[in-house]
């Protein structure tokens, strides 16, 4: 079932081999994720988001990291889909929200900055009935200014255009939270949700940025996405910017924010502090 779902559910995977073996390893993974939550062994890394016009850092995206004693480093795009399947995603998502909110609060207090932390929210977590109330509780407990929090939701979440989701997003917006659409351009082709939902920004998926140099139509695609966003009064964030040339093109089309290895990889807390200090004292 997991294998078939990974391939968008359009195939059937015929089972023949050792089902018990597969079940055992899935159970082991679930147990390990539970332990990681209980023992607080997940970590967050932070990647700067840069304002194109000024070159200054306006905030950072929190990205979860997990290193298991036996399995070693497990990338998030491997364990997050599994956590969604086994019902652990809301707990992991709340852990991430709490940790990221605490960190943003600490940095903004310490450095007198207005950095906004962006947290990735899985569609399954967002769909939970109590999502907004629980998020509000976390913000209150941490005493984070909601203007310092952004949530990134994928196009997939928006496809389920029910009024419940619109209400949730309206509530988050009223609280002062910024909403952006992640991996824009990789979901389904319906764009109608963009005008229905009160969102702030589109994040152009990394694959489009990579295509700037790879394909003749690459630049045209990026230009088109930026134009759609601006026509709808949405800001644009380009992710996965690795080269000067990509930055120049994005600048020419008035993309507001950029993120990527060209500026910095996601960093642990200690290394990220150097970034904050550098942006406060750029001459050093």
* Of residues 180, 228, 212, the one with CA closest to residue 58: 180
Residue 228's closest CA among 198, 191, 261? 191
Can residue 256 be called a binding residue for Ca ion (CB under 5 A)?
no
Q: Per-residue contact track with ligand C2E, 3 to 42, x per CB under 6 A?
A: ----------------------------------------
Closest CA to 159 of 126, 116, 119: 126
- 59 is a site residue for ligand C2E (CB under 6 A): no
| DSSP string over 127-188 | TSTTHHHHHHHHHHHHT--GGGEEEEEEHHHHHS--HHHHHHHHHHHHHT-EEEEEEETSS-
- Taking the least distance from each CB to ligand C2E, the nearer of 18 and 77 is 77
Q: Give me the least distance between CB of 265 and ligand C2E, in Å please.
A: 7
Distance of closest approach, residue 84 Cβ to ligand C2E, in angstroms = 8
Check the CA dihedral 133-136-142-143 and report its sign.
negative
C-beta separation of 252 from 212 below 8 A: no
Residue window 118-147: x/- pattern of binding to Ca ion, with contact defined by CB under 5 A: --x---------------------------
Rounded (10°) CA dihedral 122, 128, 133, 135: -20
| Minimum gap (Å) between residue 260 Cβ and ligand C2E | 3
Binding flag, residue 239, ligand C2E (CB under 6 A): yes
Q: Which of residues 99-128 bind ligand C2E (CB under 6 A)?
A: 120, 122
Of 260, 191, 193, 247, the closest CA to residue 224 belongs to 191
For residues 251 and 46, is the Cβ–Cβ distance under 8 A?
no
183 touches ligand C2E by CB under 6 A:
yes
Segment 3-32, which members bind Ca ion (CB under 5 A)? none
Identify the residue among 84, 94, 155, 183 touching Ca ion (CB under 5 A).
Answer: 183
**DSSP codes, 255-271:** --EE-STTT---B-HHH
Size of the site for ligand C2E (CB under 6 A): 22
Residue at shortest CB range from ligand C2E: 260
- Over the window 43 to 62, marking each residue x when it contacts Ca ion by CB under 5 A and - when it does not, the resulting string is --------------------
**Residue 242 binds ligand C2E (CB under 6 A):** yes
Q: Which parts of 71-90 interact with ligand C2E (CB under 6 A)?
A: 75-77, 80
Identify each DSSP E strand in the chain by its residue range: 43-51, 57-68, 72-74, 116-120, 149-154, 178-184, 201-204, 235-238, 257-258
Smallest gap from Cβ 174 to ligand C2E, in A, equals 23
Binding Ca ion (rule: CB under 5 A), the pick from 84, 150, 152, 155 is 152
Q: In angstroms, rounded to a whole number, what is the distance separating the alpha carbons of residues 248 and 268? A: 28
Residues engaged in binding ligand C2E (CB under 6 A): 47, 63-64, 75-77, 80, 93, 96, 120, 122, 182-183, 206, 239-242, 259-261, 266
- In the complex, the residues that contact Ca ion under the rule CB under 5 A are 120, 152, 182-183, 205
């Amino acid at each position: 079932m997991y294998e078939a779902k990974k391939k968008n559910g359009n195939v059937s995977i015929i089972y023949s081999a050792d089902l018990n073996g597969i079940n055992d390893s899935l159970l082991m993974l679930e147990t390990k994720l539970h332990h990681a939550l209980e023992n607080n062994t997940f970590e967050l890394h932070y990647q700067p988001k840069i304002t194109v016009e000024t070159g200054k850092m306006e905030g950072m995206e929190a990205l979860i990291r997990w290193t298991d004693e036996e399995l070693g480093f497990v990338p998030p795009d491997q364990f997050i889909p599994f956590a969604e399947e086994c019902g652990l995603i809301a707990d992991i998502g709340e852990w991430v929200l709490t940790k990221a909110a605490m960190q943003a609060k600490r940095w903004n207090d310490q450095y007198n900055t207005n950095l906004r932390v962006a947290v990735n929210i899985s569609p399954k977590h967002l769909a939970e009935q109590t999502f907004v109330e629980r998020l509000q509780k976390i913000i209150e407990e941490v005493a984070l200014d909601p203007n310092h929090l952004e949530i990134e939701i994928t196009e997939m979440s928006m496809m389920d255009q029910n009024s419940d989701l619109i209400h949730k997003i309206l509530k988050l917006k009223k609280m002062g939270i910024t909403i952006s659409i992640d991996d824009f351009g990789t979901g389904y082709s319906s764009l109608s949700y963009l005008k229905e939902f009160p969102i702030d920004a589109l994040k152009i998926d990394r694959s489009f940025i990579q295509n700037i140099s790879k394909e003749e139509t690459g630049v045209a695609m990026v230009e088109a996405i930026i134009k759609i966003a601006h026509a709808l009064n949405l800001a644009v964030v380009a992710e996965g910017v690795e080269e000067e040339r990509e930055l120049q093109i994005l600048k020419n089309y008035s993309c507001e924010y950029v993120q990527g290895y060209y500026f910095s990889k996601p960093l642990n807390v200690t290394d990220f502090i150097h970034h904050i200090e550098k942006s406060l004292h750029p001459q050093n």
